[in-house]
Every structure is written in C-alpha cells, then in structure tokens.
Amino acid sequence: MEHAEGHGHHITALRTLLFTFLALVALTVVTVITAQIDLGAMNVPLALTIAIGKATLVVAFFMALKYDNKVNFLVLTVGLIMVVVFVVFTLFDTAFRGDIDNVDERTIDQIERIEAAAKG
Amino acid sequence: MSAAQTSGVAVTPPPVHYLNHDKSIRSWLLTVDHKRIGLMYLVSVSLAFLIAGILAMFVRYELMAPGQDIMTAETYNKFFSMHGIMMVFLFIIPSIPAVMGNFALPLHLGAKDVAFPRLNLASYYIYVAGGILVVVALLVGKVDTGWTFYTPYSDRTSDAVLFMTMAVFVAGFSSILTGLNFIVTIHKMRAPGMTWNRLPLFVWGIYATSIVQVLATPVIGITMLLLFLERLLGIGIFDPALGGDPVLFQHFFWFYSHPAVYIMILPAFGIISELIAVFSRHPIHGYRFVALSSVAIAFLGFLVWGHHMFVSGQSAISSIVFSLITYLIGIPTGVKMFNWVATMYRGSIRLTSPMLFALSFLFLFAIGGFTGIALGVLAIDVHLHDTYFVVAHFHYVMMGGTVIAALGGLHYWWPKMFGKMYNETLGRIAAVLIFIGFNLTFFTQLILGSQGMPRRYFDYLPRFETLHAWSTYGSWILGAGLFLVMFYLLHSLFRGRTAPSNPWGAATLEWTHATSPPDHHNFHHTPIVTHGPYDFLSMSKGAGDGHFEEGSIEAVPSGA
Amino acid sequence: MASSSPATATAHADAHPAHLQHHFVSSDQQFDAAKMGMWLFLVTEVLLFAGMFVAYTVYRVWHPEVFVAGATLLNPWLGGLNTVVLLASSFTVALSIHFIQKGNQKALLINIALTMAAAFVFLVVKYFEYTHKFHLGIFPGENYAYADVSVPYIQQFFSIYFVMTGIHGVHVLIGIGLFIWLAIRAAKGHFTSEWYTPVELVGLYWHIVDIIWIFLFPLLYLI
C-alpha cells in the first residue's frame, strides 16, 4: 500500500548495475592482492572491510534495497544487529575464559595463613 | 478448493461457515484457510501435550518414593527427556502462536487470511514431519540427554540423538515459517482503519513472538546441524575430545532457547491482555506500554542467554553482563503486570472461566517471574543451579504462565472456533482444580530445590520424601483438572448450546464483525475500523458498527 | 488454488488480474508482502550462517595460527575465480529482473540461463577443490590425515571450512533448482512486466548466497 499506482517498482538502470559489477570485481582483485602482502595486524580488518563494502554494494544496488520499502531495510538491520549480538556476547565469554581470579586449590584460610607468614 | 460458492450464497437455515462449507477430508488436509489450519494445529498440539503430560505423570509417580518404583533409571531418563523435548518443541512453542495465532490473528486484523496461506499449510506439515521424527527417535533408541542436548554427553549417547536433532531442526523450520508469515500479515494485511495503535494486544504479543521466532530459530537449526555432523562425521566444533568447546554448544543452544522462552510467554501475555480487558470491561491501562513492552522483552530476551551458564565455566565478565541484563527484563514484565492489575481497578469484573485462568496466570506468573529474578543473581544461582528450584521456576513460567494462558485463550475463543458454549460451571471448577493442583505440584518443588534436591535425579535422600509425595499428589489433581477440561470441551461440541456471535461483549473484530463460527472468508464485508480494540463504551452506545447484543453477557454466567 | 472472488462489495470493481490471490486487495499489496516475506527469510539465512561465523571467530581468537596455516592449504586463485563467477551470476540475476521489468521476456530467459551456468561452474570448481583435499587426506575433524601440515587444532579449521562451504554449496544447489524452475516458467511466458514476483524473490535469494561467499572467500582463503 506504500505505492499509490500499479507500476511503482523501481527499475535499476543498466549503467548502475554494470558499474556495481565492475566495482565488485575490482574490490575482489584488491582483496586478493592485499592479502598477499604482510600487513601484520591489519590484514584481517582490511579484508573484512573490503568484504563489508562489497556486501553493501550488492545489497544496495543488486538487491535494490536503496530504492526499496523502508521496512525491508529495517528487517535486514535488525537481523544484522542480532548477528553482532551473537558474536560479541559469545566473545564476552570465549575471549575472557578463565578470568575468575579466585579459582585456587587452596582454601582462603590457607592463603591467609601463608600471606601472614610472608609478612611476619 | 471449491470455495467460491459458499460465501456468496444467502445464508439461511443451516448456517454455512468455515467448518461445514466443505466437509470432505481432502478439504481439511489441503486447506489454506488459516482457521482450519489453526484447528489442525490444535489437534496435533493437544496430542503432543497429552503424551508429554502422561510421561510427566509417570515421572512424578516414580519420584513419589525414593528408589525404584515403577521404572528403571534408564527409562526414567528417557521419560523426562521425552517429556521436555515434546513439551518444548512440539507443544509450547507452536501452542499459542500456531493455534490461536492462526485462528485469531487475521480475524483481529480484519484480513481474509494470513499473507501466505500455502506457506501456512506447509508449515503445518513440516511440524507434523518434525513430530514424526520425534516418534522415530523414540522408537529407535533412548534419548536421555534432556531437552538441552548438552555436549559432550549428546556426542556419546545413543544414535537416536541423530533423529532427535533432525526433529528439532525440522520443527524449527515450521516455527520460522509461521513467524515470518505472521510478521508480513501484521504489516501488510490490516483492514482499512486498523492502525498500529488499534491493534489488539494479542496481535502485539504475536508480533513480538514472531520477531523472536524469525531471528532466533535459525540458530537452533545450525546448532542441531553441527551436532548432527559432529556425530556423523566427527567434526570437532563442540566435542572436547576433538579440540572443540562444549561450552560453545551451550552458547549456541541458549542463543535460541532463551529467546524461545519468550516465544512461549509473549503470546501468553497477549492473551492475558485480551482477557483482562474484556472481562473487566475496561480499556486496557497503558495500551502503548503494554504493546511496546512486548517488543522490548523480545529484544532484551536476546541479551541474556548466558544466565543459563553461570556455572558452566564461562568467563566472569560474561556472567556479570548476562546477570545485569537479566534484571532489566524485569522492567517491561513489571510494566505489564501493573497495567493488568490497573486495568481491573474499577472495572466491572466477571469471573468467567477464561477470566479465572487469567487471574491464575497473574498469580502463577508472578511467582515464576520473581523466582527468575532470584536465579539471575549470580551468587544465588550457584547454590540453586540444577536443583528443583529451577525446575519449579520454569514450570511456573511455562505451565503456570503459558499453558494457563493458552487454556484461558482456548476457553475465550472456543465459542468463536466451534460456535458452541461449554459448560461454564465445569469450566470454573477446572480452573480452580488446575490452580490448586499446579501449586501443590510445583511449590513443593521450590522448597525441595532450595533444600538441595538436584534436578533430573532418579533417586533421592529420604528427607525429601514427604515433599516429593505431595508434589505427586498435586500432579494428580492437576491431571484431573486437565482431563476435566478435555471432557467438557469435547462434550460441548456435541451437546453445547449454540454460541452467539459475541458472548463476551468483546470489542475486537472477530466478535463484533464475524459470526460464530466465522464465515469461510471471515467477514461478509471487509471491516472498516473506527475505534480501538477495547473501546467498550462506544460499542455499547452503538457508536461502533458491531452487532453486539446487550444481555448476552449475562446469559453466560447464569446459563451454566 | 482457484482465485475465488469473495462476495465482498468492496474494491474489486477494477480489473482482477489472474495472479492476484483472493485475500489481497491489490497487486502491490501482494508484491510488497511477498518481498517482505523474502527479506525475512533472508534474515533467517543470515542468522543460520551467523552460527558458523561465531564458531569461526571464537576459534580464530583462540588459535589464530591455525587459520593462517589452514589458509595456505587453500588455493586463493580457485577461490578468487569462484568469487568472480558468483559476482557475475549476481549481475545477470539483477539484469534478468531489469529486463522483465521492461517486459523483455527473451532477455530474461537468457540471463536466467547465464546465471544457471555460472552457478554450475561454481560447483564444478568446488568439486575439484574438495576432491583434491580428500586426495591429500584433508577431511574435517577427527578424520584429518594430512601429515605435511599438522599444527595442533588444524582439523578445527577444516571442520569449519567444510561445514561453511558445504552448507553454502547446498544453497547454490538449491539455487540451481530454483533457476531451472524459473527458466521453465520464463520460457512459457509466465512472467510479464506486471507480474514477475518469483524472479524478484529468487534473485534476492541468489544475492544473499553471493554475499555469504563474499565473506567466506577472504575469511577462509586469504587471511
């Protein structure tokens, strides 16, 4: 009901589609080349950034989300937020596994006695 | 589908409606009518509830005294696992959305059907396929993992787990399709004038539920697939013997299964909002807060899964974050509870059987919610984890919350579904019996848990015997109440009084604009919505365009 | 399903196209609903793969050296070739929608056929990659038997590699099935500029398959 008339669908121009495709191929070449160079810690973020850029191009132009109903954009955004939640909240655990500092075979009483002995 | 002839024909002596416009078996099995699909779900889901409930009765009977009474420990493990798996995946998750959502949602919106009727039917048969796989797994071997399938035990135990993981995968697919269908229906199929602020709160509940179904269920899909492949090909994602991390399985599992708790409870909230407003004959207090708190719960529900894993060995920072957000869930839930109570204040309360179920819900869910907050506290959870306290807590939420609300909803919509009134006196007796039986069964378990009785154990120390025995007695009362419901509802189909189109004096479209049972295409004319879902005042003044007859309300309580 | 016209006195006075199902008021409502449904389905696909991306991230954080070692065993040129093949197929899908929107049924059919061919090439390349690995004894998980590279936990990498690319491959296979179906219907002239919903929906599906690969390629083959 968002469209008033019957022929309201956006037709993406051939030029736009072609340029999108060429940009995608170019970015693929860039990512292959940069991956061969050792950039230290930067390799992973760079490759991911390029991949996100490529995915954005596909979504915006090939899938025509740029011209589409806003609600579909909302659907995708909420989905992507959940992916981020999934990754980040799992990493809260796995990246910090074993950070409980009071895990000790000795009892508190034993520890206190040893510490007291060390002091005195 | 020879549907064309029904609705156009002038309706005289034998009223033609969706149940009888075409009586062939084929017209049922291949129907794309959301109301019929809802009823087919009702039958299947009730069957799953019956089987899983009987399993629970056996488990309770075995636990009445220490030591082996009627079954071996192995059978016991199998029974409680089957009880959990069937209740969760075949009963509670599809219960309210797929039965009452399918039946009532398009009616609430003033639509002729859901957005994708054929997908809806497909989703039903996918559910049936999932159910068949569960039965196959049951016959092939023993599934004794509980409903949680924790690795590494599920990597080692019987191969029947393979079938069970596939069953969960398939049933999940059905759930996704239902949720997807409902979201699109709510967005695109509303009748003219049905703005977002005029949606009945049941629709908001279903909307929030569907969001969770669509976003969370794919993760249980991939989890089950990975577990399946791990058993089949020995990929080592979760198996510590192959370098995997079993705690990662728990993250995957609870990323779905915690939000799944909200798949179960959010539609129940929706039903309760309807029942409280209609039977208090008072517009719901704080409509927008009740509506949006459902959506808030749906999203917050994704951020708390780690509270199931406080003692799993996950990092402390993780436990703290998850515990903190768990408290936050209490806020939108509290908003709902207070608004329901406020709605009743100065309302004209009628204690019909649906309302009795709604009132039981308020009481039982409050206990379920508060014990949940207690379990979200890190230090307390270390003490109570994997005890009967947890078992009692989630039964207060799942059974005391969802099942009681589902029963309330079923009693509420029964006249609309079948055009028959059930016996009101028996309905009230059943509601009271269920309330008493439930509390006797599970409040004892709260005490047992706080005293240290571990869950899933076959045997226990003699000092727990008294409370276990009382819990088992409670389960008999509870079972009797549920069988009573089954009896008088089935009885009403044959002997029940004919229901008027609006026996409760409700203001939503299925009561004001549709006959009981509704026409094949729901409405004779597409409704034009001019007022809110709880605008009882303008309705009784005749300002609305419904055909609600004053007096039919009184007819119900006295006509038992 | 017979498009039975219900006895409503409402807005059915205008032309009632054959593709319009009875419960929708207008073709636009039907199209928007179908498209929104597809986007929701795509989100479920994204979350399905998210599970594997989480597994990838977790194990990469724990054992980064395994992923560097694993990538050396994969051929970036074959992976790159497949990336370009899939990008091209995405392009032809977008073209097929463009042409049917303009009513060009022949160009639609040609582009569907080209997409199908690209999907087929992708699977052939994947087949050679897989068989080469099996030949070396590179299997997922506990069956890993390639003595030359035996970094601890290397089998974890190949579990993730085979599961991710395997499930992606299944999606490509399903895509081929869908394109065959589309091609048959396109050849029968079912699609017009007025109604081309299946082309649009399969197109969206195919783009998401492409996007998944856009991420899989650098994560597995390059870094």
C35 touches chain A (CB under 8 A): yes
Distance, CA of B249 to CA of B154 (rounded, Å):
11
Query: Looking at residue B9, what is its pLDDT?
Result: 46
Q: Work out how many domains chain C is built from and give that number.
A: 1
Q: Given B295, B325, B344, which residue is the final one in a domain?
A: B295
Q: Could you report the per-residue pLDDT of C75-115, keeping only the tens digit for each?
A: 999 999 999 999 999 999 999 999 999 999 999 999 999 99
Distance, CA of C129 to CA of B434 (rounded, Å):
62
Query: Looking at residue B525, what is its pLDDT?
Result: 86
> What integer is the mean pLDDT of C49-63?
94
Query: Looking at residue A104, what is its pLDDT?
Result: 66
Residues of chain B in contact with residue A102, where contact means CB-CB under 8 angstroms, are none
For residue B542, what pLDDT band results from cuts at 50, 70 and 90?
Answer: very low
Q: What domain range is B530 assigned to?
A: 499-560
ipTM of the complex: 0.91
Residue count of chain B, please give it.
560
Instruction: Name residue B497's beta-bridge partners.
Output: B421
> What integer is the mean pLDDT of C131-140?
89
Contact C203, C165 (CB under 8 A): no
Q: DSSP letters of chain A? A: ---SSTT------HHHHHHHHHHHHHHHHHHHHHHHS--GGGHHHHHHHHHHHHHHHIIIIIS-GGGS-HHHHHHHHHHHHHHHHHHHHHHHHHTTTT--TT--SS-HHHHHHHHHHHH-
Report the gap between the CA of A101 and the closest CA in chain C (Å): 20
pLDDT averaged over every residue in chain A: 86
Query: Looking at residue B549, what is its pLDDT?
Result: 44
C132 touches chain A (CB under 8 A): no
Rounded to 5 degrees, φ, ψ at B387 are: -110, 180
State which residue of chain C sits closest to A10, comparing Cα positions.
C101
Q: What is the CATH number of the domain that holds C71?
A: 1.20.120.80
Question: Six-digit token pair at B241?
Answer: 């013997």
Query: Looking at residue A8, what is its pLDDT?
Result: 64
Alpha carbon distances (Å) from B20 to B25, B412, B503, B522, B529: 11, 22, 21, 14, 28
Query: Looking at residue C141, what is its pLDDT?
Result: 78
Q: Could you report the per-residue pLDDT of B342-395, keeping only the tens digit for each?
A: 999 989 999 999 999 999 999 999 999 999 999 999 999 999 999 999 999 999
> What integer is the mean pLDDT of C34-56?
95
Asked if the Cβ–Cβ distance from C43 to B214 is below 8 Å, we say yes
Does residue A71 have a pLDDT over 90? Answer: yes
Q: Is residue C182 part of a domain?
A: yes
Q: Could you report the per-residue pLDDT of B271-289, keeping only the tens digit for each?
A: 999 999 999 999 999 999 9
Q: What domain range is C216 assigned to?
A: 27-222
Alpha carbon distances (Å) from B537 to B189, B283, B379, B540, C108: 27, 9, 51, 5, 58
Does residue A1 have a pLDDT over 60? Answer: no
Asked if the Cβ–Cβ distance from C44 to B176 is below 8 Å, we say yes
Contact B77, B458 (CB under 8 A): yes
> What integer is the mean pLDDT of B224-230?
94
Q: Is residue C215 part of a domain?
A: yes
Distance, CA of B389 to CA of B444 (rounded, Å):
9
Q: Is residue C99 part of a domain?
A: yes
SS3 label, residue B522: strand
B303 touches chain A (CB under 8 A): yes
> What integer is the mean pLDDT of B253-263?
95
Query: Looking at residue B97, what is its pLDDT?
Result: 95
Residues of chain A in contact with residue B249, where contact means CB-CB under 8 angstroms, are none
Does residue C42 have a pLDDT over 80? Answer: yes
Q: Is residue C196 part of a domain?
A: yes
Query: Looking at residue B287, what is its pLDDT?
Result: 95
Query: Looking at residue B557, what is its pLDDT?
Result: 37
Q: Is residue B255 part of a domain?
A: yes
Question: Six-digit token pair at B31?
Answer: 């129907």
CB atoms within 10 A of CB B147: 19
For C84, the enclosing helix (H) or strand (E) is helix C76-101
Nearest CB to B235; choose among C6, C37, C140:
C140
Report the gap between the CA of C119 and the closest CA in chain B (Å): 24
Q: Could you report the per-residue pLDDT of B296-330, keeping only the tens digit for each?
A: 999 999 999 999 999 988 898 999 999 999 999 99
User: Which residue, among B166, B242, B410, has the nearest Cα to C140 in the 3D structure?
Assistant: B242
Query: Looking at residue C155, what is its pLDDT?
Result: 86
User: Which residue, among C172, C168, C136, has the nearest Cα to C154 in the 3D structure?
Assistant: C136
Report the gap between the CA of A35 and the closest CA in chain B (Å): 27
Residues of chain C in contact with residue A26, where contact means CB-CB under 8 angstroms, are none
CB atoms within 10 A of CB B312: 18
**Tally of CA atoms within 13 A in the half-sphere of B426 that contains its CB:** 18
Q: Is residue B423 part of a domain?
A: no
Q: Is residue B228 part of a domain?
A: yes
> What integer is the mean pLDDT of B194-206?
95
Percent of chain B with pLDDT over 70: 94
Residues of chain C in contact with residue B219, where contact means CB-CB under 8 angstroms, are 47-48, 50-51
Asked if the Cβ–Cβ distance from C48 to B219 is below 8 Å, we say yes
- What contacts 24+ positions apart, CB below 8 Å, involve B453-457? B453/B387, B453/B388, B454/B386, B454/B387, B454/B388, B455/B386, B455/B387, B455/B388, B455/B390, B455/B391, B456/B77, B456/B80, B456/B146, B456/B386
CB atoms within 10 A of CB B556: 20
For residue C153, what pLDDT band results from cuts at 50, 70 and 90?
Answer: confident
Please identify among residues 100-119 of chain A the ones whose CB lies closer than 8 Å to any CB of chain C. Answer: none
Does residue C143 have a pLDDT over 90? Answer: no
State which residue of chain A sits closest to B256, comparing Cα positions.
A86
Query: Looking at residue C6, what is its pLDDT?
Result: 36
Query: Looking at residue C145, what is its pLDDT?
Result: 82
Does residue A4 have a pLDDT over 90? Answer: no
Query: Looking at residue C21, what is its pLDDT?
Result: 87
Residues of chain A in contact with residue B187, where contact means CB-CB under 8 angstroms, are 71
Q: Given B295, B315, B334, which residue is the final one in a domain?
A: B295
In sequence order, which residues have a C-beta less than 8 Å from that of residue B366 and are 6 or more positions away? B337
Rounded to 5 degrees, φ, ψ at B10 are: -60, 135
Count Cβ atoms within 10 A of the Cβ of residue C14 and give its class: 0-12 exposed, 13-18 middle, 19 or more buried.
exposed
Contact B249, B227 (CB under 8 A): yes
Question: Six-digit token pair at B490?
Answer: 């089935």
For residue B142, what pLDDT band results from cuts at 50, 70 and 90?
Answer: confident
Least confident of A25-34, B150-159, B390-399: B150-159
Q: Could you report the per-residue pLDDT of B75-84, keeping only the tens digit for each?
A: 999 999 999 9
Asked if the Cβ–Cβ distance from A25 to C207 is below 8 Å, we say no
Q: Which chains pack against A, by 3+ Cβ pairs within 8 A?
A: B, C
For B421, the enclosing helix (H) or strand (E) is strand B420-421
CB atoms within 10 A of CB C171: 18
State which residue of chain A sits closest to B213, comparing Cα positions.
A79
Query: Looking at residue A101, what is its pLDDT?
Result: 65
Q: Given B249, B280, B295, which residue is the final one in a domain?
A: B295
A77 touches chain B (CB under 8 A): no
Q: Could you report the per-residue pLDDT of B382-438, keeping only the tens digit for each?
A: 999 999 999 999 999 999 999 999 999 999 999 999 999 999 999 999 999 999 999
Residue B86 DSSP one-character state = I
CB atoms within 10 A of CB C169: 18
Query: Looking at residue B15, what is its pLDDT?
Result: 83
Residue B20 DSSP one-character state = T
B222 touches chain C (CB under 8 A): yes
Q: What is the CATH number of the domain that holds B159?
A: 1.20.210.10
pLDDT averaged over every residue in chain B: 91
Distance, CA of B10 to CA of B147 (rounded, Å):
52
Taking phi over 0 as left and psi of -120 to 50 as alpha, with beta for the rest, B385 belongs to: beta
Does residue C45 have a pLDDT over 50? Answer: yes
Q: Is residue B513 part of a domain?
A: yes
Q: Work out how many domains chain B is built from and give that number.
A: 2
Question: Six-digit token pair at C110?
Answer: 């040609």
State which residue of chain B sits closest to C158, comparing Cα positions.
B235
Q: Which residue has the higher pLDDT, A103 or B68?
A: B68
Q: Which residue has the higher pLDDT, B50 or B15?
A: B50
